[in-house]
Structure 1
Amino acid sequence: MKKAVVFLADGFEDIEALAPVDILRRGGVDLTIAGVTGMQVVSSHNVKIMADKDVKDIKTDDYDAFICPGGMPGASNLRDSSIVIDIIKEAYGKGKIVSAICAAPMVLDKAGILADKDFTMYPGMENNAPSGSYKNDKFVVKDGKVITGAGPAAAFEYAFELLAELQGKEIASQVAKGMLFK
Structure 2
Amino acid sequence: MVQQLSNKKVAILATDGVEQVELIKPKKALEQAGAQTQVVSPKSDSIQGWNHHDKGDRIPVDITLERANPDDYDALLLPGGALNPDQLRTNSQAVQFVKSFFAAGKPVAAICHGPWTLIEADVVKGRTLTSWPSLQTDLRNAGATWVDREVVVDGGLVTSRNPQDIPAFNDKMIEEFAEGQHEEQRRSA
TM category, shorter = 0.7 to 0.9
* Structure 1 gap ranges (5+): 169-182
Write out aligned runs for 1:88-107 (5 A). 88-107=98-117
CA offsets 1:57-96 (integer angstroms, 9 cap, x no match): 2212111111111102112112122111101111101101
How far off its partner does 1:52 sit? 0.8
Residue pair 1:4, 1:31 contacting (<8 A) in 2 also: yes
Indicate which of 116, 122, 125 corresponds to 1:115: 125
Give the 4+ runs in structure 1 shifted more than 4 A: none
* Aligned residue number for residue 56 of structure 1: 66
TM-score (norm 2): 0.84
Contact 1:66/1:98 (<8 A) preserved = yes
Calculate the aligned-residue CA RMSD, in Å: 1.3
C-alpha distance in 2 between matches for 1:37 and 1:80: 14
Q: Is this contact kept in 2: 1:89–1:111, CA < 8 A?
A: yes
Partner of 1:175: none
**Gapped regions of structure 2 (runs ≥ 5):** 1-6, 180-189
Measure, in 2, the Cα distance between the counterparts of 1:31 and 1:4.
5
1:148 pairs with one of 159, 170, 189? 159
* Aligned partners of 1:8 and 1:68 also within 8 Å: yes
Residue equivalent to 2:47: 41
Identity level (%):
25
Residue in 2 that maps onto 1:171: none
Q: How does 1:65-104 map to 2 (within 5 A)?
A: 65-104=75-114
Instruction: Give yes or no for contact 2:43–2:61 (8 Å, CA) kept in 1.
Output: no
1:134 partnered with 2:134: no
